[in-house]
Amino acid sequence: MRILVTGGAGFIGSALVRHLIADSTYDVLVLDKLSYSATMSSLNPVVGSSRFRFARVDVCDAAAVARAFEEFSPDIVAHLAAETHVDRSIEGPRIFVETNVMGTCVMLQAAVIHWQGLSGQRQSEFRFLHISTDEVFGSLGADGRFTERTPYDPRSPYSATKAGADHLARAFHHTYGLPILITNCSNNYGPYQFPEKLIPLMISKALAGENLPVYGKGANIRDWLYVEDHVRALRLVFERGRPGETYNIGGRSERRNLAVVEALCAILDRLRPRASGSHRELISFVEDRPGHDLRYAIDCAKIESELAWIPNESFESGLEKTARWYLDNEAWCRSVQEASSATQRRGLKMAG
């Protein structure tokens, strides 16, 4: 079996590739344009495998994508390539439309042509898994959780483009019969995450003795999902999920942003104490993100009941593993930060 993974040098994509090479017999082809948030170092554990291949390809490049389908002839596509940072989408929405919407359209068109050229069992077993986000559902109040039937209500350029991509995937299923699967996940965290996202950013700044900037009052609530739990769920979906269906994936670990930062400070106080005082003393409150959604929470009962998936990590155990990984891999963090502006504040207004 052959699986094509777009965005496979990114955070979640590389975790999926590492999982597949370590725990399956799949041949894996990664397509990634290696933008600022993707790095080949995330794939270092698998580059020596005879079952791993890499091609530097932008999913918006229809000719290059078509060649990849023709030469590799995948049985499964896991489409993760996307621009993902809300703050960056506020500053510059166009690249999000290009990659998340147009890139998904290119992948779907190439997949239809490839799938229609297959026959027999290979055609009936082909799957296209589109990986999305819970942010397409908008913002929750104090109660309730997102289900697979929650109406879409995106609030940022990022979530609007992911919603558009979701709709395209469903349209290709209903129009062409392409065996599509869609997943919507909650906030991921874990090793190799680019340090512009909350948890690795706080670790990086804490180690440097810098202030830990928390948006607003830190009251926004997210459901946290350890990335290795997520990729196990993705594999179950493309192996056993029903074409045309959507599966929500969450960690059942709702936390206020401030509570996340405080829990991380407690771990760092224990594993890498400051010369004096607690890391909590570095917490500062900064201007909130425009249109900041209050709360996300996932109801993952469907994937639990249909595919027997549950997260292995609690938030506490996952956060501990994550902190230890970053402490053991400070050189990796410095290298990706030096190659980008990862710690720069973004998203207060559209860039001119």
List active site positions: 134-135, 158
CA distance 344 to 337: 10
Q: Under a CB-based contact definition with an 8 Å cutoff, are residues 40 and 335 in contact?
A: no
DSSP state letter for 218: S
Q: Under a CB-based contact definition with an 8 Å cutoff, are residues 46 and 261 in contact?
A: no
Residues 6+ apart with CB under 8 A from 288: 215, 216
Q: Return the closest-CA partner of residue 299 out of 145, 151, 188.
A: 145
Identify the three-state secondary structure at position 28. strand
Backbone angles phi, psi at 293, to 5 degrees: -65, 140
Residue 237: both structure tokens together:
């979906």
Query: How many CB atoms sit inside 10 A of residue 41's CB?
Result: 16
Q: Return the closest-CA partner of residue 211 out of 263, 273, 320, 286.
A: 286
Identify the three-state secondary structure at position 212. strand
